[in-house]
Amino acid sequence: MAERKGVLLRLDPAVHDALVRWANDELRSTNAQIEFLLRRALAEAGRLPSGTGAQPKRGRPRKSGAGAETGAGAGSESDAERDTG
């Protein structure tokens, strides 16, 4: 993978604060949020280079709650039981 480049970016403080809040809502760093938005804007404008890889996944994987898995499994079993019984 090619080395990533750093860029100094000067922003209006209100824009920066809005980006930070948005990044927190999306569980991303501010840097990852900026890259996400730039990639999306480039893609929508038809300017994203074809050789561009996917945005790197960073940080810890999301927790898959044991309760959510158990609940989904229990619901699936109940549906299966109704279908067969």
Tens-place pLDDT, residues 34-56: 999 999 999 999 999 988 877 76
Q: pTM for the complete prediction? A: 0.61
DSSP string, the chain: -PPPPP------HHHHHHHHHHHHHTT--HHHHHHHHHHHHHHHTT-S-TTPPPPPP-SPPPP--HHHHHHHHHHHHHHHHHHH-
Helix (H, G, I), strand (E, B) or coil at 81: helix
Share of the chain above pLDDT 90, in %: 52
Q: Which of the pair, 50 or 21, is modelled with greater confidence? A: 21
pLDDT reading at 79 higher than 80: no
* In the chain, domain spans: 10-54
Span 4-25, average pLDDT? 96
Q: Which residue has the higher pLDDT, 17 or 52?
A: 17
Contacts within 8 Å (CB) and 24+ apart, 61-68? 62/27
